[in-house]
Structure 1
Amino acid sequence: MIDTRWRGGFEPMFNFLSRILVRLKIKPNAITIAAFAIGLFSAICIGFNKPIIALILLWISGLLDALDGSVARLTGKSSAGGAYMDLIFDRMVEAFIILGFTILAPTNYIAYILFYISVIFNFTTFIVAGALFKNDSEKSMHYDTGIAERTETFIVFSLMLIFTNHITIILMIFNVIIFLTGIIRFHKVIKYSKTLH
């Protein structure tokens, strides 16, 4: 929701940073890979109980994830392959972040498992919607918005890092939001699929 509604406010900053990366001749896929690698280092820092470093790396990863698409559009190098890599790497970073929390605080394992289940459900509905619905945006595929998007996920991870004694309640609330996002999209996809016959 934040990505969709408020990104416009940050767009000037993203464009400024993207133009710097373009001048440095850094390719979009390299930015995507860097975002992935830094996200993994954040997960490692979580596992080793280095919350401040983990938090900084997490948001650097998130910033780079926002910039790769902008750089691709500025350089005319947007591609389905790049979009595919970006989607997969995003989910992998989230999975490894949760793995880091599992190492740090394993007693919250039910919340972690439910997170994985909710993400699988939500991401599946997202991919199906992307394949079915017409793409009217500048992205490589239809991007179906929802309550829980990338920025919300990073905010939740940040709260989990700051309030480690309340990981379960924070993540369980977010799990419900992810499930709701998937359910709403699932209903939308089913409703749309009936119009195809």
Structure 2
Amino acid sequence: MLDTHGRALVQPSIQSTAQFFLNRGLSANQVTVMAFLVGVSASMLIYYDMPIFGVIVLWISGFLDAVDGSMARQSKTTSAWGTVLDVTFDRVVETGILLALALKYPDPKILFLFLILAISIIFTMTIFLTVGAVSDKQSMKSFYYQPGLAERTEGFILFSFLALFQNQLVLWTIVFIVVEIVTGLQRLLEARRILKD
């Protein structure tokens, strides 16, 4: 939701950062890898009881993740391989946050909720990626990005809440699960509408 409706507010800083990296000879895929490495380090910071630094690093990773796509479009170097790297690395970064918290809190109730959260993310992402692959609709990205209640920014906000409010881990995990399921259902209904024979 925030990505769809708020992107215009941050796009100037994304574009200027993209141009900065392009001027220094970096490619979009190199920044994708940079975003991935920064994002994975967030998990380690969270695991080693530095959640504030972990969340800051996570958001830097997310910003770089937006910059790489802008770089590819500005330099006209968008590629299917870049899209695969980008989407795959995004999921690994997110999984890393869950893994770090699961290792810190091996309580069966929390682990069960993390399992349900992982399933709800898989459900939502499966619809998102499948619709993007089969839809003729276009977006500014390399394939159609379905809008929904939880887009990347909302995911980052919720992962931040998990990391920062670990004493309320059960509550924020349940909220995250509900948001993901609602988003998945939104996307499924939209898919039925736009892909209807």
For the aligned pair, the TM-score class normalised by the smaller chain equals: over 0.9
Contact 2:135 2:195 in 1 (8 A): no
Matched ranges for 1:79-90 at <5 A: 79-90=79-90
Q: Of residues 111, 126, 129 in structure 1, which corresponds to 2:128?
A: 126
Find the counterpart in structure 2 of residue 117 from structure 1.
119
Q: What is the CA–CA distance in structure 2 between the aligned matches of 1:117 and 1:15, rounded to whole Å?
A: 34
Contact 1:47 1:102 in 2 (8 A): no
Find the counterpart in structure 1 of residue 61 from structure 2.
61
Contact 1:122 1:179 in 2 (8 A): yes
Q: Is 2:156 the counterpart of 1:154?
A: yes
Give the superposed CA RMSD.
1.3
Q: What is the CA–CA distance in structure 2 between the aligned matches of 1:191 and 1:157, rounded to whole Å?
A: 31
1:34-56 deviation digits (Å, cap 9, x = unpaired): 11111111111111212122122
Query: TM-score, normalising length from structure 1?
Result: 0.94
Q: What is the CA–CA distance in structure 2 between the aligned matches of 1:135 and 1:86, rounded to whole Å?
A: 20
Q: What is the CA–CA distance in structure 2 between the aligned matches of 1:60 and 1:28, rounded to whole Å?
A: 16
Q: 1:109 Cα shift?
A: 1.2
Query: TM-score, normalising length from structure 2?
Result: 0.94
- Which is further off, 134-143 or 79-88? 134-143
Q: What is the CA–CA distance in structure 1 between the aligned matches of 2:6 and 2:183, rounded to whole Å?
A: 18
Q: What is the CA–CA distance in structure 2 between the aligned matches of 1:103 and 1:123, rounded to whole Å?
A: 24
Find the counterpart in structure 2 of residue 145 from structure 1.
147
Contact 1:46 1:101 in 2 (8 A): yes
Matched ranges for 1:1-197 at <5 A: 1-107=1-107, 108-195=110-197
Percent identical among aligned pairs is 35
Q: What is the number of equivalent residue pairs in this alignment? A: 195
Q: What is the CA–CA distance in structure 1 between the aligned matches of 2:89 and 2:138, rounded to whole Å?
A: 24
Q: What is the CA–CA distance in structure 2 between the aligned matches of 1:123 and 1:82, rounded to whole Å?
A: 18
